[in-house]
Amino acid sequence: MEMRPACERCGVDLPHESREAMVCSFECTFCRTCTEQRLGGVCPNCGGELVRRPTRTG
């Protein structure tokens, strides 16, 4: 999985251990704030559902 480092909408940092990163099935990446308050849980690029990205440690 590609771990994009920032929200595609607002640019906030989303390090690989962040629990605030949301992704669609194409790995478009957004922060939780943009996902919930501005995008309604839907990816603006593909129309897919945005869900929490798994964290990566190590």
Give the pLDDT score at 57.
Answer: 79
Question: What's the pLDDT at 43?
Answer: 99
Task: Give every residue of the chain whose pLDDT is below 70, as ranges.
Answer: 58
Q: How far is CA 29 from CA 17, 46, 55, in A?
A: 14, 12, 13
pLDDT at site 34:
99
Joined together, the tokens standing for residue 7 give 């929200």
Does CATH number 3.30.40 belong to domain 1-58? yes
In the numeric block, the tokens 């962040």 are attached to: 18
Give me the residue spans of the domains in the chain. 1-58
